Amino acid sequence: MRILVTGGNGYIGSHTVRQLLAAGHRVLVLDNFSNSKQEVKIEIQRLCNLSYDLEEVDILDNDKLECAFRNFQPEAVMHFAGLKAVAESFKVPEKYYRENVVGLLNILQLMEKYSCKNIVFSSSATVYGLPTILPITEEHGLNPISPYGRSKLVGENIIKDWSNAGSDRSAVILRYFNPVGAHSSGLIGENPTGVPSNLFPIILRTILGIQPNLEIYGYDYDTHDGTAARDYIHIEDLASAHLAALDLLAVFEGVETFNVGTGRSYTVLDVIKAFEHVTKIQVPYKFVDRRSGDAPNCFADVAKIKRVLGWTSQYGLHQMCDTAWNWCETTKPLT
Ligand code: WQD
């Protein structure tokens, strides 16, 4: 199929594009490089000895976006482009709604104009807000507690209404839990622009000595060691879930929503121990106050994606840490 991938040079996008190419799809990536690098294309081509078209296009630039649709005539869209930093979204909420909502509307309007009926939408477990029941099923309440989370929930509702408004429209919404790790080659991985806020890159910066220690946000949560727990999912597993979603788009109409996680959670101290095992380097840390908005524990019920898509995660925590460390040593993204 001809797949248009917005944000395809980013962390999740690049790992998905590699798998799309390997599966024989033709890919056009549109990226504004606000949180990605053009050079990622070279690495992906090295990895799979296949190429793809790459254009610097912002999803808010409707003219350039339409030109891409007109020339490429996509059969499906994978929409990764958007802003995702929770703390930042409180400072500039209007920027998050513009990028994450108006950007999506631009995509859907052009899909309609160019008869593209299939979309895979990047959503997030953040739409659930603080979990009230664990594991979290797709029927859990939707109470996002950040402008970022609310922009994702608005996007989900737009997708649902778009799908119901037209014949033979198909949409899959994927609610990511915590994407981590890197391709085993170490040539692509998480390469955040600016100072990262999430755990894995911060632990890597600490191991590399870029920062003196890791601050652990809270040590008195109701978990086995008092530190908060998350459902970390290997980026290669997350990418393969997108290909499974694409297969579903080909055989159904309407909209389906899936959690994409492993179905289990690890605490911050679990992750530190795994990194120390993999790198043989001690991770200096200190306990500090809880971070506002953090949940004690969060992990997915993954029964639906297994039942409907036949997808399950394959990678464990040590592989997540090992590939993340290998990416660091191979490409040195965080220096
Ligand atoms: C993980 C755990 C922290 C940093 C974020 C986004 C969410 C989604 C996934 C996009 C928590 C602890 C972290 C640190 C720490 N992204 N921590 N010290 O908060 O679960 O979710 O990524 O969709 O929208 O918010 O991930 O990596 O920030 O934190 O103790 O320096 O690590 O308290 O328990 P989070 P995270």
92-138 residue pLDDT tens:
999 999 999 999 999 999 999 999 999 999 999 999 999 999 999 99
202-213 residue pLDDT tens:
999 999 999 999
Domain boundaries, the chain: 2-181+233-261
Helical (H) or strand (E) element with 230? strand 229-230
Average pLDDT over residues 136-142: 98
Is pLDDT at 16 greater than 90 in this prediction?
A: yes
Ligand 1 site, residue 197, Cβ cutoff 6 A = yes
Ligand 1 site, residue 198, Cβ cutoff 6 A = yes
Question: What's the rounded Cα separation, in Å, for the pair 8 and 39?
Answer: 12
Going by their DSSP bridges, the two strands 254-260 and 170-176 should be labelled as: parallel
Q: Which residue has the tokens 């029941």?
A: 133
Is pLDDT at 333 greater than 80 in this prediction?
A: no
Question: What's the rounded Cα separation, in Å, for the pair 298 and 291?
Answer: 15
Mean pLDDT of the chain, nearest integer: 96
Q: What's the gap in Å between 307 CA and the centre of ligand 1?
A: 28
pLDDT category of residue 335 using cuts at 50, 70 and 90: low
Locate 287 and state its tokens: 């306990």
Question: What's the rounded Cα separation, in Å, for the pair 141 and 136?
Answer: 9
Interior CA angle at 104 toward 73 and 166, to 5°?
65
**Protein residue with least CA distance to atom 22, ligand 1:** 178
CATH topology of domain 2-181+233-261: Rossmann fold (3.40.50)
- To the question of pTM greater than 0.95 for the whole model, the response is yes
**Protein residue with least CA distance to atom 13, ligand 1:** 199
